[in-house]
Structure 1
Amino acid sequence: MKHNLQFTIPTFTEEFDVFPIPDNEKYDYWVPLLKKFIEQSDTIEIHCWNDEKDHINEMTLVFRGVSKIVNEGNITIIKGKITDDISNHVLYDNVKTNGKLKWFSIFLSRNNTPVFQSEHWGTEFFAPNLGDDDIANIKSMTPADTNFYQYQ
């Protein structure tokens, strides 16, 4: 039987900031999670706030020739087919100089079907159609106090 899984990493925010930070101040769970699902995907969509110009410009260069860029309200959406360059950049150049994750949201899909979502700077997640082994694997990657909600 397949399940949908929503899960949230325990976080805190610094005074006068809305950026959620993992309680242990590390994103060590994020790369293994994203790697697991990026390998199953053919398309990536990244959402940045419009004022995050450095990240938008950086991703525009990385996605060159394989992307569609759309501005919707306060969000810039960069979407394209996954290439080795894009995959490597997202997996291994994913934090800002202050140690925080660069992107507000990342959506992975295959043949226009959702595979994985990482939102709120890598602290809230959704993955559809998972088997029990997949769920156990995800739980082994995430912090002990992660909140899980599983449904069919």
Structure 2
Amino acid sequence: MGKNLVFQIPAYTKVNSTFPKPSNDNYDYWVPLINYYLPKSDTIEIHCWNEEIEIIREIKCLNINMLEMQDEKITIFKEKKICTLSDYLFNKKLDQNDNFKWFTVNLIYDGVTVFHSGHWGTEFFVPNAEERDILLIKNVIPPETNLHKY
């Protein structure tokens, strides 16, 4: 059995903002992580705050039959992994202000989360990570990233 990993990309927030951005303003780690964990999943789940109207509209415009759930604060989209949605995660991660688009992205296999990205791509959880997983993660995240194994 592997280790559970929690890692947090060093981040900052601009004045009058609560939006975390990587300290180096770079999300280069995102594509290698998604490229590695997407094949291990069969379902994609995206969470957005309800006030993120443009992002929600964009997801709806993908014209895929995603399950949509909404409460008073958050909208959750969930769908089996398909090319359109996978491409969206790879190529459309930043908004017009170069901020990460999605509050949460979960990659799920057979009902179990295999990769969790939270707080706009700055906090992550990977359950049951093997040594090869840990090595890949360490090679793509910024060196000053806090990484905990348990």
Q: Which residue does 2:44 correspond to in 1?
A: 44
Instruction: Please list, as runs of the form range in 1=range in 2, the aligned pairs for 1:20-39 lying within 5 A after superposition.
Output: 20-39=20-39
Instruction: Please list, as runs of the form range in 1=range in 2, the aligned pairs for 1:91-130 lying within 5 A after superposition.
Output: 91-130=90-129
Amino acid paired to 1:138: I
If the length of structure 2 is used for normalisation, what is the TM-score?
0.97
Q: Which residue does 1:14 correspond to in 2?
A: 14
Distance 2:17 2:8 in 1: 19
Distance 2:138 2:35 in 1: 15
Amino acid paired to 1:21: K
Structure 1 segments unaligned to the other structure (5+ residues)? none
Given that 1:60 and 1:78 are in contact with CA atoms closer than 8 Å, whether structure 2 keeps it comes out as no
The reply to whether residue 137 of structure 1 matches residue 136 of structure 2 is yes
Distance 1:82 1:124 in 2: 22
RMSD: 1.0
Q: What is the identity percentage for the equivalent residue pairs of Structure 1 and Structure 2?
A: 41
Number of residue pairs the alignment of both structures matches: 150
1:82-114 CA-to-partner distances (Å, cap 9, x unmatched) read 101100011111101111111100011011011
Given that 1:63 and 1:80 are in contact with CA atoms closer than 8 Å, whether structure 2 keeps it comes out as no
